[in-house]
Amino acid sequence: MSNNGELRAERAYVDALYEKLETERSGAAAMLARSAKGADTLLERDAAIDFWSKSLSRLNIADNGLCFGRLDHESGERVYVGRVGLFDDDGDGEALLIDWRAPVARPFYCATAVNPLGMARRRRFRTLGRRLVDFTDDLAAAHGENAGDAALLAAVNAPRGAGMRDIVATIQAEQDEIIRLDHDGVVVIEGGPGTGKTVVALHRVAYLLYTRRERLARRGVLVVGPHPGFLDHIARVLPSLGETDVVFATVGDLVPGLCAEAEEDPEVQRAKGALAMLDVLAKAVADRQELPPDPIPVALSDVPVELDAELAGAARERARATGLPHNEACEVFRREVAHGLAERAVDQIGEGWLEAGDTQMRAELLADVLEELGEGSELDAEIDRLWPRLTPGQLLADLFGSVARLASAGGDPVLFRADGDAWTVSDVPLLDEAVELLGVDRSAERLAELRRQAVAEYAAGVMDVLNTDAMDDDDETLRAIDLIDAGELSERHVERDHRELAERAAGDREWTYGHVVVDEAQELSEMDWRVLMRRCPSRSFTIVGDLAQRRSAAGATAWGPMLSPYTGDRWASRALTVNYRTPAEIMTVAGAVLGEFAPDVRPPESVRACGVLPWARRVSGRNLAGAFVDFDRDEGGREGTFAVIGPEGMAGVLTPAATKGLEFDAVLIVEPDRILAKGPRGASELYVALTRATQRLGVLHAAPLPSVLAGLKAGRRVPDSFLRCV
């Protein structure tokens, strides 16, 4: 505990930091306001506005918990550690507060009494808003490491709120090692439930943006999670660390304009997620490049000609040989068909009088026929039937909605569905792959370029008029060109995209990100990984997963097969072994379930016990609703969060899948036997459900309790201890 004199001194220092923060914030706001007036061009203005807006955002996040500790070096040097860096404007710009991501701040998280890293003392602050309430010291021989443990336990025992909190004040050594890991490529963070994988990954993003901002900030960060509720849960962590250029998405969101949430049956998931779908899709596209079963007559003014399978086949081979996507190669096919028909027409027209060596006359006749073919819509309609322009949705809807098309493309019969465009999460990577096969629609870009050219030509014309009017015999006449050139004038008329980076990136399929975070990555299929690798050509990834929690039939059983096709062996794996969420009493029960379906996996070791045993109670079906009401009433009056988790199809409960990545102070699991009925997938889902609680766990069951949960304490009603946690 702190003494009063030192506490007053530390409070004065923290108060001074907040005064400095306000000064910095006021200065950034003033510069933002002046940016529009001081820039010479719109480009410079936009750059200045962007810079000062982001500077202001980073300063605005520091109000709560600006400074959370102090390091005293053995040399006598003293540094304060906090959310942002603050520097004295006087003299040499001495650091008043060190950003937690700076190298000199690392001992705050990694130093121990055994290995103090040159530190004599680590002081941890406990704050409430802007007020320093207390502090504790450790590292010194007289203190040991209990103070650091106390700060951690206070954080993990605190009631949960509406979303995930950052952990900058309580990062542990094994977490800090991963956050600061110097690896440019793919980093896999493995760990069981409650080990902090997600929050460590998000803090790693903040660290990378701090150390490599110039390279990463221009492209932003993509965070992929398992479901929208999870994304809502984690959404405030990075903004609380001052980072806002982040796109949050599920796999179902990765194709702009589509938000797929429905899941397939396991056998369909497995088929759609396998790389074998690449051959199916390629064959499905090739099948749409048809040959006419019967010759198609094409009427010309001089002679009739026919488009038959031989001519169309030769045109198709030439179009395919270009390697262009289907929709782009259509123009090649169209051109080759027209040229073939023209050659046949000229042969008929010139029969008997056109000499073989008369190339000029033949060329003139060909040009006339091609012009006539280009004027008619009849040939266009026939070509559209043989080589139709397709959208990704049309290609897949036609494929999945037709037994014949599936069979022709070599697709698994389980892929058939009556409603071909009833999109699911498993369809999203296939739709994205279809874009690659069909080609990107560039019509909007071409239209925008035409508009830019028109504006530039208009601006040049205006400048010519202004400069002509200003010209006379007086060489000192000030002309328009002396003040502004045509480029600057046209720039003022160009419509600019003023959306934030995250909004622009989310709406652009071809946007490539500086870094990608993938959470619950064990659920992603081989086809899912193709989408994500396209989104980040630099292969800068932080991947979070626990293979024991895999529920998707198409998901990963090992990381190598998923990553090696893109990275070889150039990926690093790190493990988190300590469970900060789940108390030992609950983890004992969850560990028994884990042992049933993954006996080789060791559950993470809980950092704490809460003194409350999880319980089970058998109820009849008609009493189940009343038990829900009791639980809701009892927990609703307490601080924190709670959830009821049950099998799919049960009203008023969350499914285990919908709670992945989430945590609650109290959890009530209903009908665990129905969750387990899904086989290995069900056992994984029950394991997920059991490890969501941070304090209290109860189980209600109408059927006999599964033997794997036999260790639960029985109770006729919700025990009082369930409502109280030491």
Top pLDDT among 377 and 640 is at 640
Q: pLDDT value at position 56? A: 87
Q: What is the model's pTM?
A: 0.85
For strand 693-701 and strand 304-307, is the pairing parallel, antiparallel, or unpaired?
A: unpaired
d(CA 79, CA 108): 10
Strands 67-73 and 78-82: antiparallel
How far does Cα 550 stand from its chain's mean position? 19
Which secondary structure element, helix H or strand E, spans residue 250, and what is its range? strand 246-250
pLDDT of amino acid 714: 65
Give one DSSP letter per residue of 21-56, joined into a string.
HHHHHHHHHHHHHHHHHH-SSHHHHHHHHHHHHHHH
Mean pLDDT lowest among 113-122, 344-353, 487-496, 717-726? 717-726
Helix (H) or strand (E) holding 222: strand 221-225
Q: What is the pLDDT of residue 240?
A: 86
Residue 78: band (very low, low, confident or very high) from pLDDT cuts 50, 70, 90: very high
Q: Are 189 and 542 in contact (CB under 8 A)?
A: yes
Q: Which amino acid is at 186?
A: V
User: Over the chain, what is the mean pLDDT?
Assistant: 87
pLDDT at 566 exceeding the cut of 70: yes
CB atoms within 10 A of CB 498: 10
Q: How far is it, in rounded angstroms, from Cα 213 to Cα 586?
A: 41
- For residue 476, the model assigns a pLDDT of 57
Q: Is the pLDDT of residue 489 over 60?
A: no
For β-strands 221-225 and 304-307, DSSP reports them as unpaired
| Residue 416 CB partners (closer than 8 Å, separation 6+) | 400, 401, 402, 403, 406
For 301, residues 6+ apart whose C-beta sits below 8 A from its C-beta are: 372
Inform me whether the pLDDT recorded for 525 exceeds 50: yes
* DSSP notation for 334-398: HHHHHHHHHHHHHHHHTTTT--TT-HHHHHHHHHHHHHHHHH-HHHHHHHHHHS----HHHHHHH
pLDDT (mean) for 452-479: 61
pLDDT of residue 142: 40
Q: Please tell me which residue, 357 or 262, carries the higher pLDDT value.
A: 262
Residue 141 φ/ψ, nearest 5 degrees: -55, -35
Rounded to 10 deg, the angle between the 392-400 and 428-438 helix axes is 120
Using only the alpha carbons of the chain, give its radius of gyration.
33
pLDDT at 717: 43
Rounded CA-CA distance 132/128 in Å is 6
Cα 30 to Cα 19: distance, rounded to the nearest angstrom: 17
What is the pLDDT at residue 218? 86
Q: How confident is the model at residue 181 (pLDDT cuts 50, 70, 90)?
A: very high
Q: What is the mean pLDDT of residues 431-442?
A: 91
Cβ of 629: how many Cβ atoms within 10 Å? Answer: 9
Q: What are phi and psi of 97, to 5 degrees?
A: -145, 130
Answer for the pair 615, 714: CB distance below 8 angstroms, yes or no. yes
Output the DSSP codes for 670-687: E-HHHHHTTTHHHHHHHH
